[in-house]
Structure 1
Amino acid sequence: MFNKWQAQRWWAENYDRVMELYNVQRLHRQAFPLPTPPRSEDEASF
C-alpha cells in the first residue's frame, strides 16, 4: 500500500499517462484562469 508521499510521487510521474489513457479533456489554464484549491491540508500550509 502506498503512503501519502509515495502516492503523490506516483501521480507526479504518471499523471500525463493516466490522462491520455482515459482520454480526459483538460482545461487550458489560459482560457479559464480559475484558482485551484489545494489538494490536501498539507499543501495548504505552504
Structure 2
Amino acid sequence: MFNKWQAQRWWSENYDRIKELYNVQRLNRNAFALPTPPISEDEASS
C-alpha cells in the first residue's frame, strides 16, 4: 500500500500517461456553472 508521499510521487510521474491513456481532458471549473435563468416579469414584480 502506498503512503501519502509515495502516492503523490506516483501521480506526479504518471499523470500525463494516465491522462492520455484514459483520454481525460482538464476541465474548466466554470464549465459546470450553469447560467442563471432570466427572471420572469411576474417574479420581478413580487
The TM tier, using the shorter chain, reads 0.5 to 0.7
* Greater Rg by CA: 2
In the other structure, the counterpart of 1:20 is: 20
**Structure 2 CA distance for aligned equivalents of residues 4 and 25 of structure 1:** 25
Q: CA RMSD in A?
A: 1.5
What stretches of structure 1 move > 3 A for 4+ residues in a row? Answer: none
More displaced 10-residue stretch of structure 1: 6-15 or 18-27: 18-27
Gaps of 5+ in 2: 31-46
In the other structure, the counterpart of 2:9 is: 9
Q: How many aligned residue pairs are there? A: 29
TM-score, length basis structure 2:
0.55
Q: Which AA in structure 2 matches 1:14?
A: N
Q: Which has the higher helix share?
A: 2
**Structure 1 CA distance for aligned equivalents of residues 4 and 25 of structure 2:** 26
